Structure 1
């Protein structure tokens, strides 16, 4: 589903879709959203495999890098608190991501709306 929030075209991935676990999965998503030309991809945390939340697996970096390479920002929406508690490294990664503009970890759509509203004017990529 595509919607515009604070001037940003956001594509919401379905929570019922296939798990996103590999770069190939990311490429498939890029193909799905290509014609909609979104600025930001909102991915339900439930679509991500356990390896995503284990930084040493490299899955989080590979997936987010693939999306960002193709000009998409990423917002992972959902409760990741169990993963934050289980790994200080992942908690630090989330804190650092949320300070930036490319990858965010947010509780839900409402928090995404607030984040985009707080960053309007600086959040939208140029190009």
Structure 2
């Protein structure tokens, strides 16, 4: 895993493997990024276990609540049209509307949303 500072206070997490495979991984990531002084994070769908996107596991809720508690904004970049669950679609819609957690389809969209106040 590599944390790249790509813009003012935005960390991009890149890896050739899963970065988050369990709740503790998400919490560790927040701690590492927070310690390095970032309060905005770009994370890629392919680096997150598929269980995260199944809301019945409660993994997303627990990890994303920690992002909120630390006032850390997150943009998850991926293709979310593959997820057919209506509850997941509603979750994405509400998250994007609030702006703390964002589901976007490109790095440029992530940079845009995280650069807005």
Same fold (TM over 0.5): yes
In structure 1, the partner of 2:32 is: 32
1:95 aligned residue: 93
Q: TM-score, normalised by structure 2?
A: 0.85
**1:61-87 Cα shifts (integer Å, max 9, x gaps):** 01111222122111101112101xx21
Shift of 1:22: 2.5
CA deviation string 1:24-46 (max 9, x = no partner): 10222123223421121111011
Structure 1 gaps of 5+ residues are: none
Offset of 1:9 from its aligned partner? 1.2
Q: Unmatched 5+ residue regions in structure 2?
A: none
Distance of 1:36 and 1:17 partners within structure 2: 22
Take 1:64 and 1:31, find their aligned partners in 2: how far apart are those partners? 13
Please state how far the C-alpha of 1:108 moved relative to its aligned partner. 1.2
Measured in 1, the distance between the counterparts of 2:68 and 2:17 equals: 21
| Matched residue, 2:67 | 67
Instruction: Please report how far the alpha carbon of residue 98 of structure 1 lies from its aligned counterpart in structure 2 after TM superposition.
Output: 0.7
SS in 2 for 1:68: helix
Answer with 1 or 2: which has the greater Rg. 1
Match among 3, 6, 24 for residue 6 of structure 2: 3
Flag as ranges the 4+ runs of structure 1 deviating above 4 A. none
Corresponding residue for residue 22 of structure 2: 22
Contact kept? 2:18, 2:46, Cα under 8 Å: no
